[in-house]
Every structure is written in C-alpha cells, then in structure tokens.
Amino acid sequence: MTEYLINLARFVSYNEKKEIYRDLKNKGYFVSNDSWSYRRLIVNKPVKNKPFVASLIELKETFYQNNLSQTIDRLSKYKIKEIKAKIERNVPFHSKAITERYLKKYKFDPEGETIYLEARLEKDKVAIRLGFYLDDKENIPVKKEVVYPDIGIESPFTLGEVGDFLRLSKTFKTKVFIFTLNDPDCLNNIQNFLKENSFDKGNITIVKDIESFRNEYEIIGFSMWGKDPLETIIKNKEKKKLLLFGNERRGLLKKTMDQCNKIIKIGSSSEPLRATQAASFALGYIFSKEN
C-alpha cells in the first residue's frame, strides 16, 4: 500500500492535529501518527486542497545505510531534479554533502522528481527515508490575486495619517494618492516627512486635486454624509477605482464630494471614522468578498 506523508502547517496546534486525525479517519482514510515527527501524519491516499497541509510526500522506501555512498546509489534509480534533505543533528553528514556527492556521479534531470530525503540515527545506525514531493499545484489551493482599488487622502492633517496610508499601501499592494488642494503648508509637510523618514515609501504620489482622475477612475468618496452602500465598491470591475478619504479634522470637502461618482457611509453611527479606520475597513471588506 502506498503511503503519503503530510507535513502539517506551522499554525496547527497539538489539539488541532488530533481533530484533523479524527476527521480524516471519519472520511475513510487510514491514518497514523508519524514516528519520525509529531508534526506529521501518514495516510493511505493524497490529501489535497487543505490549508493544514504544508507539503505532501509520496513515500518510497525506508532503509538503514552502511555509508553515504550506499544512499547515493539508492538515489540513482530515481529521476531527480532536486534533493530536499532533512537531516537530524546527530547524523554524521549534512544535507549539502548529499547533493554534492550525488552530483559527482549523476546529473539532475529537469523532468524528474523533487526527492524528499530524511535521515536520523537509530541505535548507532543511520535510517534513511525517501519519497517524492507531490506537485504543489495539486496540493495547495491556488489563490486568486485580488486587485485592490487605489486609495487617496485629501489634505492630510497629521503626518501620522500619511504613515498609516503608506502601511496600507504596502499591505494591500495599492497606490496612494495624496491630494494637497494647492495648500503649500500641506505639500511642504508631506515632502519633508517623506524625505526625513528612511522607510519604504511604497507607491505614493502627491497631486493637486482629483479633477484629472475623473476619466481614468471611478472615484468613490467616504463620508458620514454618504448614501451609497458599501457593496458598490466591488461592482463595476471594468473601471479602476479610487477610494478617497478626508482628513481627520474635517473629512472630505463638499466640492470634492460633488466630483465623486459615489459617496459611501460606513456603519450607522453619527460619529465619523478616522480616514485610516475607514480605509482599512473598506479594503478588508474587499478582501473578504474576493477570497
């Protein structure tokens, strides 16, 4: 019977492992704990598209080696494109030595398999376990890439707002536009802030106002005076979107709201959210709907 080794993801706790064990057994798998590590399970058929699976290996053979040359000779019967070795500390050779010794006699085959090799010491003998890594595309769900709208803040009142928007830009891989409204003090403060701080600035652009954006973007403003529902930010995917937020002192200006395609209010409270709170909520909402 072919056996498969499940390397569990790092987030799986001891109690969660027991739940996974029971769940697999209830679904008809033959399951056992791996004697080599408590972080693994042995099953009789592949387990695919499960977040608890860090990697899945089809086990081929386990043997005791007399010397490293014997292991290299065993490897020679497989078509190999890469060797990934896990060697316990008390074993008298390291993973790099395996690859070096193999390549002295044989060549990697680009069409071959990725070999899993594990070695540990058992009563003064070196035990070797070999297997094939199954194609990651078979085991790991393919996550679709979410394209987030760009975000903008109008005439930020504090430099902390600018820093927070930069963090959002890096987290969600989106552009940030800072609209200065021709305010020289705002422009100077932001330029000095960006010059004096050495952190990664992300994708940030300083502009005057939103007039030049209206043809390229659907502009969605956020204000406590908004009437449009939050769901509208995930509709009309044909056009790029710019989520626009006011500063923490006064929010979006009336003349700015008049130029927006939609104005959204988040929640029902009469107390406005801070710009970074509203931006985080909106981007998080998109993430939850697109994943």
Regarding whether 74 and 28 lie in a shared domain, the answer is yes
Q: Which domain holds residue 128?
A: 4-139
Q: Give the pLDDT of the chain (291 residues) as one tens digit per residue.
A: 789 999 998 888 888 999 999 999 999 999 999 999 988 999 999 997 888 898 999 999 999 998 999 999 999 999 999 999 999 988 988 888 999 999 999 999 999 999 999 999 998 899 999 999 986 544 444 455 677 899 988 888 777 888 888 888 888 888 889 888 777 777 777 777 777 665 555 577 888 888 888 888 999 999 988 888 888 787 767 788 999 998 877 888 888 899 999 999 887 777 778 888 899 999 888 888 776
CATH number at residue 69: 3.30.2130
Asked, for residue 225, whether it belongs to a domain, the answer is yes
Same domain, 133 and 172: no
Same domain, 135 and 156: no
Q: Is the full-model pTM beyond 0.85?
A: no
Token readout for 171 is 């987290």
Same domain, 156 and 80: no
Do 10 and 127 lie in one domain? The reply is yes
CB atoms within 10 A of CB 275: 26
Residues 16 and 134 in one domain: yes
Domain shared by 95 and 211, yes or no:
no
The verdict on 88 and 10 lying in the same domain is yes
Give the Å distances, CA to CA, from 109 to 76, 85, 200, 249: 11, 17, 41, 64
Question: Quick one: three-class SS letters along 177-196?
Answer: EEECCCCHHHHHHHHHHHHH
* Structure token pair of residue 19: 């739940």
Best CA proximity match to 17, nearest among 54, 44, 48: 54
Does residue 145 sit within a domain?
A: no
